[in-house]
Structures are given as structure tokens and as C-alpha cells.
Amino acid sequence: MQTLRRLAGILTLVVFVGACSAAAPSSAPASTIPSGDPNSPVSTDLPPGGGSSGTPTDPGLVEPKPGQLDVHPVAIDTLSTTVDGRHVVVEVQWTSGVEPCNVLDSIVVERGDHAFTITIREGHGPEEVACIDIAQIKHATVDLGDLEPGAYTINDSQGRATPVEVTIS
């Protein structure tokens, strides 16, 4: 009786894993899969401003793909800035699901009096797929351009990220 229960449990597990593997499409085209040992880790560390969407060295760097469905704001986890003279670039990082279920649609920047408020907007593609429940750290860059001298505050519209202060001389 005990052997029969174990066999039933193993069979259930095999069927479940097989169904999940068959239903989950690959989100990366074959050309982005790194060559070499398939078991070696892929680094997601990237110098500020480097990489491009979908590269094996930084799968978290995403670019907006306008036209998604059910677009909604997503909270930003962290904001960081790079200042070169008067030119300011902000890197935003957030946690979300994988494509095509969670796709960056747009980044909205509202400028106020010495303040910027950034909103990440995500939606999903038109595909009807089973969405796996896996979190992914994503990031994108926002170029604020050349700013006039003064102190500026950069905020997440959803209030999760700690605001960043930038002073331009």
C-alpha cells in the first residue's frame, strides 16, 4: 500500500512538471542564450547606462514597448542617478513578472518645481499564455537631460522608492 502511494505521488509530480514545461513558452529568442556551459551562471551586473534590452549579460534591462494591454503603474524599488556636469540620468529598478505577462509599456516623467516624479507603467501582450509566478528584477534608464543649477528631488509616483536629491552647480 505504501509503495502504491509513493508511485502515485511520483507519477503526479512527473505529470505536473511535464505540463508546466510544455505550457511555458521561452521568453528569450534563441539568439540571446549565452554560448558555452548551459549550467554556468549569467551575471546581471551592468555598469551604469550599459547593455541593451534582452542581452544575456543583463536580462533585467528593459526598454518600453508601447501598446500593451491593461497598462497600470508599478512601484519603483530604487532610484539612482548619474550626473555628468548638468546632465542627469536616472536608473530605475523594480520587481515584476516575466514577459509577455508583465511588459514595460512606458515611463512617464512629470516635471514640477525642482522635482521630477517617475512612473513605470506595465501591461501585458496580446498573447493568451499561462503566466508563471516568478519575480524578476528589471531596470531602465531615464534621461532627464541638462538641468539648470539648483537642487532637484526625484520621486517614485507610487511612493515605494526613497526619493533622490541631486544638486546641479
Q: pLDDT tens digits, residue range 128-152?
A: 889 899 999 999 999 999 999 999 9
CATH of the domain at 113: 2.60.40
Is the residue at 66 inside a domain? Answer: yes
Is the residue at 120 inside a domain? Answer: yes
Is the residue at 118 inside a domain? Answer: yes
Classify 16 as helix, strand or coil.
helix
Is the residue at 104 inside a domain? Answer: yes
Where is pLDDT greater, at 81 or 28?
Answer: 81
Indicate the number of domains in the chain.
Answer: 1
Residue 57: per-residue pLDDT: 61
Residue 52: per-residue pLDDT: 37
How open is the CA angle 11-18-127, to the nearest 5 degrees? 145
Domain boundaries, position 87: 53-168
CA distances from 28 to 60, 92, 98, 110 (A): 12, 22, 10, 33
Is the residue at 8 inside a domain? Answer: no
CA 92/CA 107 separation, integer angstroms:
10
